[in-house]
Structure 1
Amino acid sequence: MITLNHTGVSHTVFRLLGIPGLEDQHMWISIPFFISYIINLLGNNLLIFIILTKRSLHEPMYFFLCMLAGADIVLSTCIVPQALGIFWFHAGKISLDRCVSQVFFYSSIFISESGILLVMAFDRYIAICYPLRYTTILTHSLIGKIVCIVLRSFCTIFPIIFLLKRLNFCRSNILPHTFCEHIGLAKYACDDIRVNIWYGLFVIISTVIIDVLLIFVSYMMILHAVFHMSSKNARHKALNTCGSHVCIIVLFYVPAIFTSLFQRFGRHIPPHVHILLANVFVLVPPMVNPIIYGIKTKQIREQVAHIFFPKQK
């Protein structure tokens, strides 16, 4: 590793190592990366196609699901092709501008997905607690205003571009990762990065943590309403409509939160464990989301069956 401390030289080109310590296994590691990415592209594009082309699915719940599928495609495309390039061709060279751009898009899409999951929780709350007023509450005007919550991701992440660009990266140009992260990149600067650390925490608390709390409150109110239903079948149906969303919430937030904590406080955790966990967050939810909704949602399941088995209904 080349170290250029206090020389006044600021690196403009970096080299991503992939998963340090497991270089000999890169070819094998690339297999699940490639398979999950293909499943992600096929599953989410199919989901978007079905929702956009079937008028019976032009409802708020499916519109939000379509947004989630699109975000999944963008999130994994920001990361996985580059990781495969490192594993297959040792193509880890990346410019500072491209690295900062990756931080911006990766972080923005992550916060956007968190906002979409919050909106979906609100949708389920209205559908279960106020079923007769569902269409009158979730009007096109309100949906348009709700979707604006996604714009907050770009507003909160945009300052990070300037926080990174102001730094002098004179420590090293070797990044032990498959992609660029905000704090992971900032640690290689010779300047004081406390502003980066505190702003990063502010972004997480003001977006993701608040989203998690609001989702938790929404589901507490949903459970309260469900267990006050007189019909057992009604309770089962209501809980079943939330099952897919709860699975996706767990898959999205658990690895994301652990990755963020390890990045800031996990000094004694082996680097390859942190890197693998960070990639699990990018690989697993985008791949599994369309499968979960395809299995758990009857309307989507029927449309998929009609596409692949047109003679069967």
Structure 2
Amino acid sequence: MYLLLCMLALTEIGISTCVVLKALCIFWFGFKSITMDGCITQIFFLYFLTGVHSAILVTMAFDCYVAIGDPLRYATILTNARIAKLGLVCFIRAVLFLPGPLLLQRLPFCFNCIIPHTYCEHNAVVKMSCGYTRVNWMYSLVITFVIIGLDLIFIGLSYGLIIRAFLRISSKKTHWKALNTCTAHICVMLMSYTPNLFSTLTHRFSQDIASHIHIILTNLYLLVTPIFNPIIYGVKTREFREKVRKYTCRM
């Protein structure tokens, strides 16, 4: 569990860093321009880290199932070596995002290119092009539904198994402990997937939503969610609470 939490935290730090560094350059130093190569690099790392983040959430759902469904074999099923292999799979799968940013290089931009975001948002960049963008839109939708859609299906299957294991438990105390195991993961999933999916779909299908709504949603996903996730897991994990209380008392 701690290895997964560490990987989740590192990906969230990476996602926020990709956005915050450029945003600080804009607001503090007035560096409002960015090269095309810099923009594509930022998009790639955002896509890559978002894919890793989603895959880690799937792995954490499986972790919850093992902890509830087969707690006595938890340490033998989820060994450090196996978690490392799962982490490697998450990184390899995220490389599949590579063609998306590369497809932007072939697009012509014929007028003033002003991105209405604090970072290079893929769909906003595609909208600025005066060339043929159907391939880019299709790729964005396919990646969203295939990667995130498959992840949600796997998470749903894991929670189906969790519910089955939950119904087999007779002790009320164990019921509460099992429910407490999943609460933090469910909160993090809702905070991660909801604004991401809404922003992607409204960019493609809705023209009536104001641009500042898109900006708020994307910043909510990229900046606010990584702030609250450690708090959620810190509150729900007894060991974290004890460590915080210990160091607070020392101070």
TM-score range, shorter chain: over 0.9
Counterpart of 1:225?
Answer: 165
Match of 2:211 among 271, 286, 290: 271
Distance 1:153 1:182 in 2: 19
Contact 2:3 2:83 in 1 (8 A): no
User: Could you list the per-position Cα deviations for residues 34-92 of structure 1 after superposition, in whole angstroms to 9, with x for gaps in the alignment?
Assistant: xxxxxxxxxxxxxxxxxxxxxxxxxxx11000001111111111112322443444432
Q: What is the total number of aligned residue pairs between the two structures?
A: 251
For 2:67, what is the secondary structure of its paired residue? helix
What do the CA deviations read for 1:223-257 (whole angstroms, capped 9, x no partner)? 22112211000000011011111111111111111
Aligned equivalent of 1:234: 174
Which segment drifts farther, 286-295 or 81-90? 81-90
Letter in 2 for 1:178: T
The aligned residue for residue 45 of structure 2 is 105
What code does the residue aligned with 2:156 have? F
Maintained 8 Å contact 1:109/1:153: no
* Equivalent residue letter for 1:244: A
> Which AA in structure 2 matches 1:180?
C
Residue 91 in structure 1 maps to residue 91 in structure 2: no
Question: For 2:170 and 2:41, how far apart are their aligned partners in 1?
Answer: 53
Query: Which residue in the other structure is 1:78 paired with?
Result: 18
Which residue of structure 2 lines up, in the alignment, with residue 290 of structure 1? 230
Q: Return the alpha-carbon distance in structure 1 between the equivalents of residues 28 and 81 of structure 2.
A: 48
Matched residue, 1:35: none
- State which of 122, 134, 138 in structure 1 corresponds to 2:74: 134
1:207 is matched with which residue: 137, 147, 167?
Answer: 147
Q: Normalising by the residue count of structure 1, what TM-score does the alignment of the two structures yield?
A: 0.76
Residues in 2 aligned to 1:73 and 1:124: alpha-carbon distance in whole angstroms: 23
Does residue 155 in structure 1 map to residue 95 in structure 2?
yes
**Residue pair 2:108, 2:131 contacting (<8 A) in 1 also:** yes
Give the superposed CA RMSD. 1.6
- Return the letter of the residue paired with 2:210: P
**TM alignment of 1:150-189, pairs within 5 A:** 150-189=90-129
d(CA) in 2 for partners of 1:214, 1:178: 33
State the distance in 2 between where 1:140 and 1:298 align: 21
Tell me the equivalent position of 1:125.
65
Between structure 1 and structure 2, the one with the greater Rg is: 1
Report the Cα distance in structure 2 between the residues aligned to 1:153 and 1:74, rounded to whole angstroms.
17
- AA aligned opposite 1:226: F
Q: Show CA shifts across 1:176-215 (max 9, x none).
A: 2111122211222222111111111221122111101111
Q: Give 1:153 shift.
A: 4.6
CA distance in 2, matches of 1:259, 1:187: 14
Looking at secondary structure, tell me which structure has more helix per residue: 2
Gaps of 5+ in 2: none
**5+ unaligned residues in a row in structure 1: which ranges?**
1-60
Q: 1:299 aligns with which of 239, 242, 245?
A: 239
Cα offsets for 1:97-141 (capped at 9, x unmatched): 111111001111111110010000001111111111112211233
| Aligned AA (1:157) | F
Greater relative CO, 1 or 2 (CA 8 Å, sep 6+): 1
Using the alignment, how far apart are the partners of 2:125 and 2:142 within structure 1?
18
Alignment of 1:26-37 (within 5 A): none
Deviation track 1:1-38 (CA, whole Å, cap 9, x = no partner) reads xxxxxxxxxxxxxxxxxxxxxxxxxxxxxxxxxxxxxx
Q: CA deviation at 1:145?
A: 2.2
SS in 2 for 1:112: helix
- Name the counterpart of 1:20: none
Q: The residue matched to 1:309 in structure 2 has which SS? A: helix
Identity of aligned residues (%): 43
Letter in 1 for 2:179: L
